[in-house]
Each structure stands twice: as structure tokens, then as C-alpha cells.
Structure 1
Amino acid sequence: MPSFVSRYPLLAGVASLLLTTPTLAQKAPQTDSLNIRRIYDEALLRGQSYENLRHLTGQIGGRLAGSPQAQQAVDWSKVTMEKLGLDRVYLQEVIVPHWVRGAKEKGQIKAAKGKGVDVPVCALGGSVGTNGKLRAQVVEVQSLDELAAMPEEKVKGKFVFFNRPMNPTYIETGKAYGEAGDQRRAGASAAAKRGAVGALVRSLSLAHDDFPHTGTMRYEDNVAKVPAAALSTNGADRLSQLLKADKNLTFELEMACQTLPDVKSYNVIGEIKGSKYPDEIITVGGHLDSWDMGQGAHDDGTGCVQSMEVLRLLKATGLKPERTVRAVMFMNEENGNRGGIKYAELAKAANEKHLAAMESDGGGFTPRGFALETTNPETVTRMQQWRSLFVPYGSGEFVVGHGGTDIGPLKDQAKVLIGYDCDSQRYFDIHHTAADTFDKVNRRELELGGASMAALVYLLSKYGL
């Protein structure tokens, strides 16, 4: 039977806060509690995040940087924020890479005897194509270090198959994803250095299914570019099993992906001017681009519509922010982060004062709280005094952590980078796959997340840091 704490976490959290920090409730004025309640009520009664996401995913779909769909998303975001009656909505030009997947990829295990076994595969973002069918033997490794220690004759002319899974014992799945991601990002160049013809990478997922997970990879300068593909977790298990029985089997890969010249795109920005301190800026955002295989719902359509909703909630509740609040739909987070870099560059050139930057890029699941990235421990302490206002809504975790990729370039300009944190247990089951679709998003969870973000922006705008 669950303990009292596990069955009633909100009551336990409130009790813990009252026992350990009895003055927190006194420090938070009653008006703040009431105003935050208004924000949540507005979100749950009249929230627009879910319907906005329905349009973004259903009418536009996957939005890889440089694609026509990405431009459609730019146009839609601008019009949608203009309808909110903000003080300003504008575009910020960004030059982005233009990689295209081409025809659906094909992968097949071929033994000396018997019928070939089809394996679900997809090209990793940025990979070169195979120029027809590419067939070679396979060598399986668990890490980049294991590959580096192998004699070259065991690797030359083969596919290197990186089959290290995400660590299922980590409670925070993002940690497992980051730890296993080196083989996806660097595997192709590591394989090419040893004379391999290509890289096959186990999908970064804790699920066992037939969805291959794409994601960005990078080629090192002055190293041959070889094709890099992700195998579904079921496919990777099958290949590993068959390799144990037949070391001489071959794998046949066919990919038509290619990189085209860079193209012009945009960050989309909407803002409400601060009533008292307009020169101090709070940025909240998500990335408008997504991979092309699904609809980009959780990654990161949810973050975009929640960021727009922050502005709508402030206006709808009449809570005029004292500091300027911007919602930024960043372009090109997935394969370059050029939107985030450009935003930070222009902010620095204009001598803008960024108080804080918040990002939602972990899906639209149930809110848990916020991750705080800052060099000043006092900032963390100050923000943690607001926890009691969020505990009733299930989002009272204020912990030191990672802010986000898009806002990362603001690290030297903003006093704190804030990552909106939600339940991550299901996120990497669909991340970067054809399964990242609108039907995987729960309306209530999504709207609660936007309200949590708006509530924290309200407090930052009122009290500063």
C-alpha cells in the first residue's frame, strides 16, 4: 500500500514546507496567491494552448528548419500572436541549415542463408545519403571508447553498430538521454576514422518498439563523411541477436538525404511592455522547428503554444507585467540552434537587460516545477521562497538544473535561465519519431503547464531578482 506521502504528495509537500520554512507563507502576499489562482482558472476554463497546438500540428505538421512547413509555422505564429493584441509582434531574421530526408529510408539484415530481415531505420539529421544501396558487414560496439580500442582491420569496410541503450535506472530520463547521446552525435565520424563505411545507432529511447528516433549528428572537419542511421530499439535488438549467431551477416542501407544551401528563416517574437521597468526583459519561449517524421507535438509544439499562452494569460487576467515579457518562437533548435544564438547576439548588441529567460522544451506533460541555471546561489534561494505558491498546483519543485538549448546563449546576459520541468517518463518514447503527434498530448496537462509558466513570469515581473 502506498505511504501517506506518496498518496497525498501535495499535502505532504505543504506540510514539509511549513515545518522547514514556517515564514514562507507569510512572505508571499495574499494578493499573489489570489492572482495565481486567477491565472490557473483562466487557463483551465478558457486556455487556448490545446487548440493552437491542434492547428500547428494538424494543419502544418513537422517543421524542419528550412522547409516550407517551417515558414508556414512562422507565418501562423506571427498572426496568432497579433490576434492577442500585444504591444509588439515581429520577426527576427535567422539563416538556417537546410537538410532534407528524401525518400523513406530502407534497412535490411542479410544473412548468408535465409530471407532478409527488414529493420525500421531513419537517417540521422545532417547525415549524407548512401548514393544507392550500401551493403557491408557489421561490427557491434557499446561505446566510442570500445570502438577506438579496436584494431582497424576489425572495423574497416564495415558498418559500426552502436548499441548502448539508455540507462533505465535513472529516474530523470533526460540524464539517460544525454549520457547515451554521444554515439548518435559523434558516432559517424568516430566510425569513419577507423575506416568504416557507415554508422548504425540504437535509437535513444527506453521503449521497445519499431519507431526509429532521428536527431542531429555532426561530422568532424577533415574526416570522411559516412552515412549515419538510427535503428528502432526492436530492430537493434534483432540485429544484435542475429550477429551473435552469424558474425558474417551484412546490413543493407538505402538513404536519399542531402544537405542543401542555407536559407532564410525567422524567430517570431511577441511582447508586452513592462509598466514600470520596460528595459528589464523576461523571455519565455519554445522552438518552432521540429523534426520532419511526426507532427512535432511534444517537441516542441507544446513549448511554443505554452509560451504564447503566457502572454494571453497575463492579458486575460489583467495582470499588467511590471517588466517587459517576450514570447519567442525560436527557429532551428533541432539541428543548429541558430535561432537561439541569433536572439542572444542581437540582445547583446542592443544592450538589452535580460532579467530571466524561461524555456519549455520537455514536452507538454504534467507540470513538476522549474530547473534554475545561474551562477548566483542567492537567486536560487530567492526563487525557492515562491515554492509555496506553486505546491497546490503540483509544480512546486525549484531545483538547480539546465535551462534549455534555445536560451543557453543568454547565459552571460540573463540573471537566471529557467527550464520548465514536467513529468519526463514518457517523453523519450516518442521524442524525434513519427509517433510525436497531437493525440499524445493531454489538454489538461498542457494548460496546467502554461499556467505554471505564466505564474512564475508574473512573480518575476513583479518582484524581479
Structure 2
Amino acid sequence: MKKTLTLFLGLLTGVASAQTADSVMIRNIYNEALGNGKSYEWLRQLTKQIGPRLSGSAGAQKAVDWSKQVMEQQGFDRVFLQEVMVPYWVRGKKEEAYIHIGSQKRTVPIAALGGSVATSPKGVEAGIIEVKNFPELRALGAEKVKGKIVFFNRPMDPTKINTFEAYGGAVDQRANGATEAAKLGAVGAIVRSMTNVHDDNPHTGGLRYGTGVALIPSAAISTNGADLLSQSLKENPNLTFYFKQNCETLADAKSYNVVGEIKGSEKPDEIIVVGGHLDSWDLAEGAHDDGAGCVQSIEVLRIMKTLGLKPKRTIRAVMFMNEENGLRGGVKYADLAKANNEKHIAAVESDNGGFTPRGFGIVGTPQQREKVMPWKPLLAPYGLAEIGPGSGGADIGPLAQLGTVLFGFKPDSQRYFDYHHTPVDNFETISQRELEMGAASMAALVYLLDQHGL
């Protein structure tokens, strides 16, 4: 009995000692990020010196070169490129749109959806049909839709506390609206922007064309424009809508994922990934989506190196290419990991903006999630209370097939869709402190994953 009690007390002492050491190291991580952080300056360079970085563009290639150089300058053990062929869609000349009532024309802001075809050089003008969802559209039938422009006007649900849930409940009309409208003979599709903010900023984003269906042009209209169009239709059901866009899809282009790593000292064959996507839409600088995630990921490795941490496992920062309109970088990374027989035990992605940290969503088995729960008291003092089942991230998603546990960094979601895919997603919208807190939060999680495994 005495031996059993002694052993039990020894175990408790060991656990308490480990937790104390972890607590001290996490405090050091935050001190380094907040006192000497580099992520904000790196983001300034990425956004102001390079700017928009849509896959296939010159900006995307500049971002590849820049991120490789930054990681090499930090002295990581290895920095390398993974070649990937990506879609190359070009917006062309700025879009035009107006509501036509008699002799009156009311201009409204639109942005072509990524991957959309162009209109004819003269544009498209037709009567317009407003719907909230696909069942409502189908109920109208081809007789009422053929030759018209379909206007999808279902707003994000403002009662959802997590705005990503609201986005998920509305984004199908952007992704598939053109295909559903084309099935009934429509000549174009206009989609309400994915935001609850009322302003004049149209939100672009990718669409998917179905097979065997006519490819019709599709654009997002700003929320103010959508409200004006809806009200105008109520007052003048026979009005027409005109829009013109000049986009085109070119041949696939060569690009790269950019990878930097610190080699593990005890279990180098076990890999922990932290990453964001390097590409961004062409309307703005891509500060929140996803420049923030990229610089935070590089900062995780810099912090570990600066603090003299020698990780047990190999830690990689990955700048994924082509999340916005293809996910080919994420797929390529997972394919290469499988082909090289690499063991990725965990992957962390930041792709929800550079806002105040709230926690991490976990994709894994109940047993794997349970191993993370004892870390909550260590992370709670830093505002990381929301830790549990959730989503990981689009780029790291393909790693799930290899048994990798996925962690999605969760900042506060309330302002993200004010900027998402808009012309105002620029460096000036970033809070330095919030960005650096996010980098520290990711570094703390990666530290715990490395020290304790899953």
C-alpha cells in the first residue's frame, strides 16, 4: 500500500512538474510574439510590396519567391518548393452593371465570380427573376426562367453567432447558382454577396460549373446593390438588368507550395504542419484571407528557433497555393506526403483571419480529441477557451486520409465577412496585437503537440 501511494504521489508530482514547465514555455512564447514578433512586418511586405496573389498570376509567383526568401533568412533547417499546376483565371477589365427601368439606369457594384465565363463584348441585358433558394427556382420552371437573369438573394443568417455557420448556410447559391439557373435556360446569374454588412463592396469567390450544362456568366452584387435591385423589382417587375464582364480562363500555370521546416531531434519522421494559403483573390491585398495565416505560420517556427526550442518532432510551415479556386496545393501536399510515406501526426491551419484568438477546432477521433483536453487550462489564460470538435482547414483537409489530426485556428468570427473576398481586405484592416496573439496561440499548440504527441 505504501509503495502504491508513493508511486501515485510520484506520478502526480511528475505531471505537475511537466505542466509547470509547459506553462513557463507558453508564457515565453507569448512574450516573444508580443515583444519581438515579426508577423506584422512580414504581412506588410506581403500585402504592400506584392498585393493580390491569385493562382497563376505574377503576384502569386512573387509571393512564392518572397516566402521562400523569408524562411531561408530565418535559418530554418530546410526550405523547399513543391511544384503544382494551378488554374489561371483572369478578371480582365472592371465589370459594369445597372438596373434599367424605362429610360432610367441605376448603376450597381458587381464582381465576376472566380471561374466565371465572360459575357458577350456587348454585355447581357434581360429580365430578372429573384429567388431565395434552389427549390424556389425549380418551382418556377423553365417557362419563367428561360432567357432571364436569375438573382439569388438569400442573405447570411444574422442570428448565427458563429458567422462561418451563416456563411455555410448561404454560399451554395454562389457556388452552384449559375449551374442551377442554366439548367432552366437562364442567360446569367447574379448572387447577393456573402456578408451581413450593408455596403457597396461586392464579394467575389469561386463557382462550380456542372457538366453538360451551359456555362453562363455569374457575378456577385454588393448587399446595398442587392437591396436596391430587390426593392426595384417589387416596384417594377418588368425592369431589366444589364451586366458586362471580361474574364477568361487561361491554360493551367506552374506554381508551388513553399515549405520550411525545423528537423525533429528525437522523432524526426513524425511531422507537425502549420500553414496558411499563399494565394488570394485579385480584388485586394489578401491581408486576412490568407496573408495573416501565412505569416503566423512562419512566425511559429521563428519563435521556436529564437527561444532555442529543439522540437522532438519535425515542424513544417507550409504556404499552400491555390486554396481559393482549386485546392490543388493542399491535394498535392497530401499526395506527396503519401508517396514519400511521411507520417503527419497533426496539422494546424490558420485561414479565418487575423482577429482575436478564441480556440481551435479539432478533426480526429474522440480519443485523439480527449488527449488535447488536459491542455485547456494551459491555454485558457490566453483567451483560448473554444477547444473541441470543429473544422480543420481546407488545405490540410486532404491529410485526413493519412490519419492526421487536423486543427483549425479559430479567431473571433464577427468581422471576418466584412472583408472576405472584397476590395477592402487590405493591410490597414489588421490589428498588430491580434495578429501576434494568433501567432503565439498557434505556436503554443504546436509546442504542446510536439512535446506530448497524440
Q: What per-residue deviation string (whole Å, max 9, x for no partner) do you get for residues 296-349 of structure 1?
A: 000000000000000000001111110000000000000000000000000001
Asked if the contact 1:94/1:266 (under 8 Å) is kept, the reply is: yes
- The aligned runs of 1:12-91 (5 Å cut-off) are 26=16, 29-91=19-81
Distance 1:25 1:179, change over 3 A: farther
- Deviations for 1:125-157, whole angstroms, at most 9, x for unmatched residues? 000000221100000000011111112111010
Q: Are residues 1:421 and 2:428 paired? A: no
How far the C-alpha of 1:24 sits from its partner, in A, is 13
Alpha-carbon shift at residue 23 of structure 1 (Å): 11
User: 2:431 is matched with which residue: 415, 432, 442?
Assistant: 442
- For each residue in 1:410-446, what CA deviation from the matched residue of structure 2 results, as whole angstroms up to 9, or x when unmatched? 0121431000000010000110000100000000000
Deviations 1:328-381 (A, max 9, x none): 00000000000000000000011100100010000000000100011x101111
1:455 to 433, 436, 444: 444
Aligned 8 A contact 1:24 1:385 in 2 = no
- Alignment of 1:328 onto 2:306: no
Corresponding residue number in structure 2 for 1:155: 145
Deviating above 3 A after TM superposition, structure 1's stretches of 4 or more consecutive aligned residues are 22-28
Three-state SS of the structure 2 residue aligned to 1:451 is helix
Return the alpha-carbon distance in structure 2 between the equivalents of residues 411 and 334 of structure 1: 20
How big is each residue's C-alpha offset from its partner over 1:25-68, in whole Å with a ceiling of 9 and x where there is no partner?
94852111001111000000100000000000001001000000
Q: Equivalent residue of 2:111, what SS?
A: strand
Shift of residue 383, structure 1, vs aligned partner? 0.3
Measure the CA separation in 2 of the matches of 1:273 and 1:107: 54
Give the aligned partner of residue 238 of structure 1. 228
1:123 aligns with 2:112: yes
Q: Is 1:249 the counterpart of 2:239 in the alignment?
A: yes
The alignment of Structure 1 onto Structure 2 pairs a total of residues equal to: 442
Compute the TM-score of the two structures, normalised by the length of structure 1.
Answer: 0.94
Residue 350 in structure 1 maps to residue 340 in structure 2? yes
Offset at residue 166 of structure 1 (A)? 0.2
CA distance in 2, matches of 1:29, 1:336: 42
What amino acid sits opposite 1:380 in the alignment? Answer: R
**Residue 8 (structure 2) aligns with:** none
State the identity as a percent: 61
What SS does the corresponding residue of 1:244 show, helix, strand or coil? helix
**Structure 2: distance between partners of 1:101 and 1:29:** 53
AA aligned to 2:374 is: Q
Q: 1:400 aligns with which of 368, 389, 392?
A: 389
Partners of 2:73 and 2:404 lie apart in 1 by: 31
Structure 1 distance, partners of 2:259, 2:338, is: 16
- One-letter amino acid of the counterpart of residue 327, structure 2: N
Deviations 1:250-308 (A, max 9, x none): 01101000000001000000000000000000001000000000100000000000000
Cα distance between partner residues in 2 of 1:320 and 1:450: 19
**Residues in 1 aligned to 2:310 and 2:353: alpha-carbon distance in whole angstroms:** 28
Q: Which runs of 5+ in 1 are unaligned?
A: 1-21
Match of 2:158 among 140, 159, 168: 168
Question: Does residue 145 in structure 1 map to residue 135 in structure 2?
Answer: yes
1:378 aligns with 2:367: yes
Superposed CA deviations along residues 438-465 of structure 1, whole A, max 9, x for unmatched, are: 0000000000100000011011111111
The residue correspondences of 1:85-124 to structure 2 (distance < 5 A) are 85-113=75-103, 115-124=104-113
Q: 1:279 aligns with which of 269, 281, 284?
A: 269
- Tell me which amino acid in the other structure corresponds to 1:410: L
Q: Give me the whole-angstrom Cα distance separating, in 1, the residues matched to 2:322 and 2:428.
A: 24
Residues in 2 aligned to 1:142 and 1:198: alpha-carbon distance in whole angstroms: 16
1:175-214: CA deviations, max 9, x gaps?
Answer: 1101100000000010000000000000000100000000
Instruction: Return closer, same or farther for 1:403/1:109 CA change in 2, 3 Å cut-off.
Output: same
Rounded to whole Å, the distance in 1 between the matches of 2:159 and 2:366 is 30
Question: Which residue is equivalent to 2:175?
Answer: 185
